[in-house]
Amino acid sequence: MAKPVLVVEEDPFLRLIGVTLDPATSTERIAAFADFFAHDLPDFAGWLQQLRGRLPRLFPAEVRLVNSSEALRSALGDADFSVLESLPFGAAELAAAPRLRAVQKYGAIPGNIDSAACAARGVAVLTLRRRANIACAEHSIALMLALSRQLQRTINRISISSLQAAGFTPRTYDRQHTANSNWARVPGIRLLHETTLGIVGLGEIGREVATRAAAFGMNILYHQRTPLPDAVAAAHHAHYADFDTLLESSDWVVICLPGNANTRHLFNAMRLARMKPGARLINISRPEIVDRDALIAALRSGHLGGFALDPLYEAPGRDDDELLQFTNVLITPHIAAQPRFNALDDIADLITGLEEKWS
């Protein structure tokens, strides 16, 4: 019997499908992935062996990586499955794929796949709620909480001297009359509750952020080029606003956009100036979406009340990065989507789901 054929969109994480299923994968790539996962999964070879043992029909397979629509159509002639993140899949691709059993979206929203055309042909459309997206949403909430609670200034500062070194004037209160909470006298602590969150891009990560923000009692606005159907937005407790209204109304703005030519420097000096005075900006997308020079100017002027970033403008970063001079800035070294088991478990679920479709 011929080996199964999978046509997979070229993506750093989707390459793991080839590593898992295709014996022709280079030893260099396998070693690179073993190194990539080592801090969370020391025994990558054992993980591969265990997963392959659950795939009696799908392993071994031929995995073809493609990075364009033309390459996708050219590779589909004898394909059994296709796995896509952003490449469009419709009538032309179906016509080129007479053997296709299923199209797997590497994500939960199959907007790039013509589901009706696939259904008419009897080709299943599969989706995956990615743990990495959930992790990014959790990280954005963590950054918001840290800034709202002033954790970046107070964490592990419990002595008079350490608090004074951070610029505070700690002094206990008169306990005969008052409580003693916040004897460190830290100003600027705020709630998330009843504040307004503006999400720029209510895609997969943006929706995960909205779900969590709603649990904190936040009012949620969103903006993107194409408004969502009302029922979809309502399911995520979000209300559409034009870009200027979102910027002017939001106490918090979270960027959940892809990095590309259209989004580069989307947050420039003009848009940062549009933001509500004292609002805080969270960027868990590509750093270049925010113009760095304009960002520093907005922080320096005090118009921007705080900023958090993951990943970095340059990696590794520098200890003399000017952004680190601001006490209302939090930067983490590209850890939002972690742990690595998010990717490992997502790919394992994806592949075992395809295995179930082989009959």
Domain of residue 323, CATH code: 3.40.50.720
pLDDT at 1: 63
- pTM for this model (two decimals): 0.95
Based on the fold, state whether residues 103 and 204 are members of the same structural domain: no
Say if 60 falls within a structural domain: yes
Over residues 17-33, the pLDDT tens digits come to 999 999 999 999 999 99
Q: Which residues contact 115 (CB under 8 A, 6 or more apart)?
A: 125
Say if CB 84 and CB 111 are below 8 A apart: no
If asked whether residues 208 and 327 sit together in one domain, one would say yes
| Cβ-proximal residues to 55 (8 Å cutoff; 6+ apart), any chain | 21, 351, 352, 355
- Residues 87, 17, single domain; the answer is yes
Q: What domain range includes position 25?
A: 5-128
Quickly state the pLDDT bin for 2 (edges 50, 70, 90).
Answer: confident
- Report the alpha-carbon distance of residue 33 to residue 40 in Å, rounded: 12
Instruction: Among 75, 97, 128, give the residue marking a domain's end.
Output: 128
Q: How confident is the model at residue 123 (pLDDT cuts 50, 70, 90)?
A: very high
> Using an 8 Å Cβ cutoff, are 272 and 247 in contact?
no
Same domain, 318 and 288: yes
Question: Are residue 88 and residue 117 in the same domain, yes or no?
Answer: yes
Question: CA-CA distance, 49 to 193, in Å (whole number)?
Answer: 47
Per-residue pLDDT reduced to its tens digit, 332-354: 999 999 999 999 999 999 999 99
Bond from prior residue into 339 cis (ω within 30 degrees of 0): yes
For residues 108 and 50, state if they share a domain.
yes
Specify if 352 maps to a domain: no
Phi-psi region of 228 (alpha: psi -120 to 50; beta: other; left: phi over 0): beta
Asked if residue 83 belongs to a domain, the reply is yes
User: What's the pLDDT tens digit per position in 55-102?
Assistant: 999 999 999 999 999 999 999 999 999 999 999 999 999 999 999 999
The rounded distance, in Å, linking the Cα atoms of 259 and 76 is 28
Assess whether 58 and 90 both reside in one domain: yes
Backbone phi, then psi, for 50, in 5-degree steps? -65, -45
Residue 82 lies in a domain: yes
In a domain, 326, yes or no: yes
Compute the distance between CA of residue 237 and CA of residue 241 in angstroms, rounded to an integer.
Answer: 13
Q: Are both 144 and 63 inside the same structural domain?
A: no
Residue 87 maps to a domain = yes
223 lies in the same domain as 289: yes
For CA atoms 107, 111, 116, 121, give the dihedral sign.
negative
- 222 and 143 in a common domain: yes
Which residue has tokens 């054992």?
Answer: 46
Overall number of domains in the chain? 2
